[in-house]
Amino acid sequence: MSEFDKSRLDKYIRLMYGKHIPQSVIEKAIRNKDILVNDRKPNASDKVSEEDEIFVHPAICKVFANICAVQEKEAHAKRDYSCYVEQFKSMIIYEDNDLIIINKPSGLAVQLGSKTKLAVDVMAKAYNPEARLVHRIDKETSGITVLAKNIETSRYMLHLFLNKQIRKKYLAIVSGKLGMLEGKINKPLTKNKETVCVDFEHGKNAITEFRVIKNLNKNRTLIEARPLTGRTHQIRVHFSSIGYPIVGDRKYGGQRALRLYLHSSEISFQTRTGKTLSKKAPLPEYFK
């Protein structure tokens, strides 16, 4: 704590937990004895040093974190993303009066958060203020991402996803040589904080069909996967659970690589106007 040595307590709190935490919040926490210095109730103006033992109640830590998250969201809302319009336009593979379909690169989040400075949703709104995400893929996953240009289409697409009326295909490179040319993985999944695991007792139904496209060098296999359900991390967890994790998937035991080798390659559905729409997203160069 030497860089904060002999600073005011309220300044120390802001340096440690967020520079925009209101003075009133800090002083209320002190009054409630949720902040103590050397087991005693301090004043906000007290000087603290590296010898002092400063206690901040875990509940107050969460309050500070929530305040910072709101401030971060407001800061993002004020940020000008117009400089990313051309980059967003370069990702578009289909657009009509209702929909935008893009080929998202790996490493770009679809939704802005406290840990992301750029995402598809804000880039899309800079391109078209009415654009809104209708489904999500992982930040590390590349490929097809769909946005609606009006609320009617957004509701319609949500209905299709909920009723499993959208067909999606993924391409992935997995570690190992599969002993079958095609198959089905039927294992229920449960979300546990930031990861997902197979849970036959409490998990939600999750089914992935797959077929082998070809064997590759380095004991790897290119496969096509078709999720019949839409659980978080479904394809990643399913292939890890049968001993063939996706290359680059550090969260679920995949071989180390610069990127996750999972690509949302194709989507098919009936549009609001009754047209059957099927679109493919070209593979990234690192797959080839």
pLDDT of residue 52: 84
Domains defined along the chain, listed by start: 2-78 (3.10.290), 84-287 (3.30.2350.10)
pLDDT per position as a tens digit, 50-92? 778 889 998 988 888 888 777 766 666 667 788 999 999 999 9
pLDDT at 3: 47
State how far the alpha carbon of 162 is from the alpha carbons of 5, 113, 134, 207, 288, in Å: 55, 24, 11, 15, 34
Express each pLDDT in 84-106 by its tens digit: 999 999 999 999 999 999 999 99
169-to-14, 165, 262 alpha-carbon distances in Å:
48, 13, 11
pLDDT of residue 73: 67
**Is 138 designated active site?**
yes
Distant-in-sequence, close-in-space partners of 174: CB < 8 Å, separation ≥ 6: 220, 221, 223, 239, 244, 245, 246, 247
SS3 142: strand
CB 281 within 8 A of CB 266: yes
Q: Count the Cβ atoms, other than its own, within 10 Å of residue 185.
A: 19
Considering the candidates 34, 39, 98, 138, report the single residue annotated as catalytic.
Answer: 138
pLDDT value of position 75: 62
* Residue 164 to residue 269: CA distance in whole angstroms: 10
| Calpha distance 170→142 (Å, rounded) | 10
Above pLDDT 70, what percent of the chain?
Answer: 95
Count the Cβ atoms, other than its own, within 10 Å of residue 202: 8
CB-based contact 18:72 (threshold 8 Å): no
